[in-house]
A and B are shown apart, each in its own frame.
Chain A
Amino acid sequence: MITFQNVTKTYKGSTVALRDCSVEIDKGEFVFLVGPSGSGKTTFIRLLLREEMPDSGRIWEAGKEIGHLAKWRIPYLRRNIGCVFQDFRLLPNKSVFENVAFALEVIGRPKHVIAAQVPQVLDLVGLSKKRDNLPHELSGGEQQRVAVARAFVNRPLILLADEPTGNLDPQTSLGIMKLLDRINRTGTTVIVATHDAGMVDQMRRRVIELDRGVIVRDQAHGVYGIDSATAAAGAGSPTGSLAEQMPAADAGGADADLHDPFATRT
Chain B
Amino acid sequence: MPISAAYVSKEAATNLWRNRLMTAAAILTVAVSLALVGSALLLKQGASKATELWQNGVQTIVWVQPTAGSAQTDAIHTQLQQSPYVKSCIYRDQAFDYNEAKIVLPPDELAATTQSQYPSSFRCVLNDPSQAAAVYQQFHGKPGVYDVKYPGQAIKTMQSVIRVLQWVFLTVAVVLLLSASVLILNTIRMAIFARRREVSVMKLVGATNWFIRLPFMAEGMIQGLLGAGVAVLVVLALYWGIGLDKAASAASQGSIISQMALSGWEVFFTCLLVAVVGVGVGVVGSAFAVRRFLDV
Docked complex Cα distance between A49 and B203 (Å): 10
Instruction: Kindly state whether residue A89 has any CB partner on chain B within 8 Å.
Output: yes
**Which residues of B lie under 8 Å from residue A102 when comparing CB positions?**
198, 201-202, 205
B154 vs chain A, min Cβ distance (A): 64
In contact, A106 and B205 (Cβ under 8 angstroms): yes
In contact, B206 and A75 (Cβ under 8 angstroms): yes
A187 vs chain B, min Cβ distance (A): 20
Q: Given B1, B204, B211, B212, which contacts A83 in the complex, CB threshold below 8 Å? A: B204
Q: Given A77, A92, A103, A107, which contacts B1 in the complex, CB threshold below 8 Å? A: A107
Instruction: Kindly state whether residue B88 has any CB partner on chain A within 8 Å.
Output: no
Residue of B nearest to A82 (CB): B205
In contact, A106 and B197 (Cβ under 8 angstroms): no
**Which residues of A lie under 8 Å from residue B203 when comparing CB positions?**
75, 78
Residue of A nearest to B204 (CB): A83
In contact, B205 and A78 (Cβ under 8 angstroms): yes
Docked complex Cα distance between A80 and B198 (Å): 19
Residue of A nearest to B208 (CB): A75
Docked complex Cα distance between A154 and B206 (Å): 10
Docked complex Cα distance between A81 and B212 (Å): 19
Residue of A nearest to B200 (CB): A89
Docked complex Cα distance between A67 and B198 (Å): 26
**Which residues of B lie under 8 Å from residue A79 when comparing CB positions?**
205-206
**Which residues of B lie under 8 Å from residue A76 when comparing CB positions?**
206
**Which residues of B lie under 8 Å from residue A92 when comparing CB positions?**
197
Docked complex Cα distance between A72 and B1 (Å): 12
Q: Given A72, A83, A91, A103, which contacts B197 in the complex, CB threshold below 8 Å? A: A91
In contact, B205 and A107 (Cβ under 8 angstroms): yes
Known: A89-B200, A89-B201, A103-B201. A108 touches B206 (CB 8 A): no
**Which residues of A lie under 8 Å from residue B208 when comparing CB positions?**
72, 75, 107
Instruction: Kindly state whether residue A150 has any CB partner on chain B within 8 Å.
Output: yes
Residue of B nearest to A150 (CB): B205
Known: A107-B1, A108-B1, A108-B3. A72 touches B209 (CB 8 A): yes
Instruction: Kindly state whether residue B207 has any CB partner on chain A within 8 Å.
Output: yes
Residue of B nearest to A89 (CB): B201
B205 vs chain A, min Cβ distance (A): 4
Q: List residues 107-124 of chain A with CB under 8 A from any CB of chain B.
A: 107-108
Instruction: Kindly state whether residue B2 has any CB partner on chain A within 8 Å.
Output: yes
Docked complex Cα distance between A76 and B211 (Å): 13
Residue of B nearest to A151 (CB): B205
Q: Residues 184-205 of chain B: 1 if any A CB is under 8 Å from the residue's CB, otherwise 0? A: 0000000000000110111111
Residue of A nearest to B199 (CB): A106
A contact residues vs B (CB 8 Å cutoff): 49, 72, 75-79, 81, 83, 89, 91-92, 102-103, 105-108, 150, 154
Q: List 28 A-B contacts (CB under 8 A).
A: A49-B204, A72-B208, A75-B208, A76-B206, A78-B205, A79-B205, A79-B206, A83-B204, A89-B201, A89-B204, A91-B197, A102-B198, A102-B201, A103-B201, A103-B205, A105-B7, A106-B202, A106-B205, A106-B211, A106-B212, A107-B206, A107-B207, A107-B208, A107-B211, A108-B1, A150-B205, A154-B205, A154-B206
| Contacts A89-B200, A106-B206 supplied; 20 other A-B pairs, CB < 8 Å | A72-B208, A75-B203, A75-B207, A75-B208, A77-B206, A78-B203, A78-B204, A81-B206, A83-B204, A89-B201, A89-B204, A91-B197, A91-B198, A102-B201, A102-B202, A106-B207, A107-B206, A107-B207, A107-B211, A108-B1
B contact residues vs A (CB 8 Å cutoff): 1-4, 7, 197-198, 200-209, 211-212
**Smallest CB-CB A-B distances: 5 pairs:** A78-B206, A79-B206, A106-B207, A108-B1, A103-B205
